[in-house]
Amino acid sequence: MTAKQPDSADSAVGRPADAPDHVHELAGLRLAARQARDFATADDLRNKIGELGWLVTDTATGYALAPAAAEPPARAPRYKVLANPAAIPAAGPDLRGGAARPATIGLLVEGWPDDLRGCVDALLQHAPAGVVISGLDVGNQDGAGDTLAELAMAHQDRIEAWHVASSPGWSAGRNALLRADPAPVHVIMETSTILTGDAITPLLAALATGGVVAAGWRGADPDADLLGFHDSGPGRVRALLGYLMAVRSEAAAAVGGLPGKARFYRNADLEFSLRLGRLGRLVVPDETLPVRQARHRGYHDSDPAYRERESRRNYRRVLDLLRSGGEA
């Protein structure tokens, strides 16, 4: 394996003869894309490098390449792996000490390690002090669990990591993160959501307003025929989308967490929102939040038939809630 610094000459690297120039060129382009926070391009380049028979990994000085066939010997992971999300303990006192954390940002990690790294890098840069990132890795897909463990080790004061061997579905993972959270506010966030500034503080400020139980980046209201939802906000909305939303932990617990029958995220955040709406108001802040949406893997890279089936199943429950009315 050979490491390369982005600003060093090839002769100073001592790379092996079997690392072709065109592979190093792609790896350099990927490194430049990551430094520019263009993680979609970085992902595509990593895939192209893989198709050429090479593995590329990030290092402190740039990148490293190794033949794809030269896989390391199997070994036990360096971190504890639980059987499933149900094995994650419920919240107790925050073991970090000091002042209690104001909020926890929950990330469900189901692969795509570059997406995870880009999301976490932005959170570390922009999230307010004291807010903790809690990641749940499901099955170390594509090495994303290893990436989460690496990030948690490097930032022990800001990141906590949970690892499970398997998950019965999206809502089970999300609810495990909720149960394990000792903070008064839980932030539901996708790893495809990238902060370009502090988008967390405005959400916390909105929750400090009387009667507000949840605040988010993107709101939605039902169409007149109830057959769909359209984007809405700022101000009060009927639903919040799970790209980035902050909810009072006690309110989330009072409605039973994310809908337990949802094995796929789509429309589950609508159902969750409508249940929360019976306890208080849901709002989108007046100011434009500094957020960028990258490729949403959970939607675009899921099996279309599975996506359609689970979405329809979830939406039937959303319709029942809309028809029954009942809002605080």
Condensed to tens digits (0 to 9), the pLDDT of residues 100-113 reads 889 999 999 988 99
| Structure tokens that stand for 214 in this block | 């949840």
- pLDDT for the residue numbered 187: 98
The residues, ordered by sequence, that sit 6+ positions from 270 with a Cβ below 8 Å of its Cβ are: 220, 229, 239, 314, 315, 318
Residue 98 above 90 pLDDT?
Answer: no
Residue 42 above 50 pLDDT?
Answer: yes
Indicate the pairing of strand 239-240 with strand 219-222: antiparallel
- pLDDT for the residue numbered 325: 66
Range in 20-29, 61-70, 232-241 the model is least confident about: 61-70
71 vs 218: which has the higher pLDDT: 218
**CA–CA separation, 96 and 56 (whole Å):** 34
Distances (CA, A) of 251 to 107, 214, 261: 19, 9, 19
210 vs 314: which has the higher pLDDT: 210
Indicate the pairing of strand 219-222 with strand 229-232: antiparallel
Indicate yes or no: pTM above 0.75.
no
Query: What does the angle CA 231 – CA 237 – CA 238 come to, to the nearest 5 degrees?
Result: 95
**CA–CA separation, 237 and 220 (whole Å):** 6
pLDDT tens sequence across 136-189: 999 998 899 999 999 999 999 999 999 999 876 778 899 999 999 999 999 999
With a pLDDT cut of 90, the percent of the chain lying above it is 48
The residues, ordered by sequence, that sit 6+ positions from 127 with a Cβ below 8 Å of its Cβ are: 105, 133, 195, 198, 200
For the segment 234-242, the average pLDDT, to the nearest whole number, is 94
Confidence class for position 96, pLDDT limits 50, 70, 90: very low
Range in 176-180, 225-229, 262-266, 322-326 the model is least confident about: 262-266
Q: Which domains does the chain have, with CATH numbers?
A: 2-67 (no CATH), 85-324 (3.90.550.10)
Residue type, 16: P
- pLDDT for the residue numbered 4: 43
